[in-house]
Amino acid sequence: MWNMTEFSDAFEDDNFASAGLRLTVDLTALTENWKDMARHSGKARAGAVVKADAYGTGIEDVGEALYLAGARDFFVATVDEGVTLRLYAPEARIFVLSGIWPGTERRFFENDLVPVISSEEQLAFWMLVLADYGDYPCALHIDTGFNRLGLALDEAIALADDVSRPASFSPMLIMSHLACGDDHGSAMNRQQLESFRRVSAAYEGIDSSLAASGGIFLGSDYHFDLTRPGISIYGAEAVNGMINPMRPVVTAEARIIQIRTAKAGESVSYGQAMQLTRDSRLAIVSAGYADGYMRSQSSGGVPLRQVVRQSGQGFLAGRMVPVAGRITMDMTIFDITDLQENVVNVGDYIELFGKNVAIDDVARSAGTIGYEILTSIGLRHERRYVVEDEE
């Protein structure tokens, strides 16, 4: 029987080195991407969108890195995200996009969070809050054609001219969101811009914000006072059909837990969805759809392969290798037949996305967008945050 004390003394625990799933977040690339977006924003200030746990990368480390890089305006989705971020961005303005709801007032005030008011119901509640708590800033979200959140355009303009509104009602930001900011050929961008100009003029002297990542690349007409870069900070594509200028930020890797051989004519994974046409070597790795590596990337047996021919690929030993068969909950099989036998071993790691496998290529093979790939990263990844020259 093992002497567990001696065993634990003999082996130093390194969670990252031994993890089945590893996620590396390059904070230098992240902050350089934010600085690039700040430069693209021209005269406007650049904020930072860190909702959904900083797009799956970790709001604590990412929020602090962006704050230290100079970001002073942050956007989160929920009050809980704002409370967490406040610990790492002490002097920043933190806007909560879902707004304020009964029972959340104390957390807003105690953590100096700014609610984004998006509906007549929220506005009415906010007026009641101000009657009890006094003057406190907010932001107003106006719908300029998206038909998602936002006060109606005419309602927002009428509110600006309403002399009966309480003096304690003091919005610090007017904002809207482009429905087609990632499509620079869409006429809707110009339509929304003209609508937003109307409401921005009605709130003269108050900061205005229209452009997120894609909108920033539309040019200075869309920048106003504050931009809201999000997906671009994390290294993914912001504009359809444009070469992505951003640095890759996130690298996901999975351990090879077995290498096996299979004969031509045999099948791979569930449902016999892949029939081998040659004798093959297969690497079984410790990542599956429970970890955000989507089943729709499977090489066969999923409807998407009838539309998009390219299945998922990983990067191993200097080459791209394809997914073989269906991706399962905890495991994915890759065909490594074309690699020399002596270059891959059990225990090695395959890159699922990162510097060699663009996250948006992974998204395309899954029939989705880079946003979903990032925000679907599971809890089983051991995370490491690096800065330049740390690796």
67 is catalytic: no
Distance CA(254)–CA(380), nearest Å, equals: 11
Position 338 pLDDT exceeds 60: yes
Position 389 pLDDT exceeds 80: no
51 is catalytic: yes
- Give the ranges where the chain is alpha helix by DSSP (H): 4-10, 15-18, 27-40, 51-56, 59-69, 79-86, 105-110, 120-133, 153-160, 187-202, 213-216, 359-366, 370-375
pLDDT class of 167 with cuts at 50, 70, 90: confident
pLDDT class of 95 with cuts at 50, 70, 90: very high
Task: Identify the structural domains of the chain with CATH numbers, from first to last.
Answer: 41-234 (3.20.20.10), 250-386 (2.40.37.10)
The residues with which 230 forms a beta bridge, in sequence order, are none
Decide: residue 359, CB within 10 A, 0-12 exposed, 13-18 middle, 19+ buried. buried
Q: 88-97, 154-163, 259-268, 309-318: which has the minimum mean pLDDT?
A: 154-163
Residue 252's pLDDT is what?
Answer: 98
pLDDT class of 116 with cuts at 50, 70, 90: very high
Distance CA(179)–CA(19), nearest Å, equals: 40
Residue 166's pLDDT is what?
Answer: 76
Position 2 pLDDT exceeds 70: no
Average pLDDT over residues 184-194: 98
Distance CA(51)–CA(74), nearest Å, equals: 9
Which one from 88, 270, 371, 385 is the annotated catalytic residue?
A: 270
Position 245 pLDDT exceeds 70: yes
Give the predicted TM-score (pTM) of the model: 0.93
Position 5 pLDDT exceeds 90: no
Side-chain-side CA neighbours of residue 144 (13 Å): 27
Q: What 3-state class would DSSP assign to 306?
A: helix
Which one from 51, 136, 222, 385 is the annotated catalytic residue?
A: 51
Residue 170's pLDDT is what?
Answer: 85
DSSP 97: T
- Look-up: residue for tokens 């031509």? 264
For residue 248, give the nearest of 258, 237, 257 by alpha carbon.
237
Residue 168's pLDDT is what?
Answer: 78
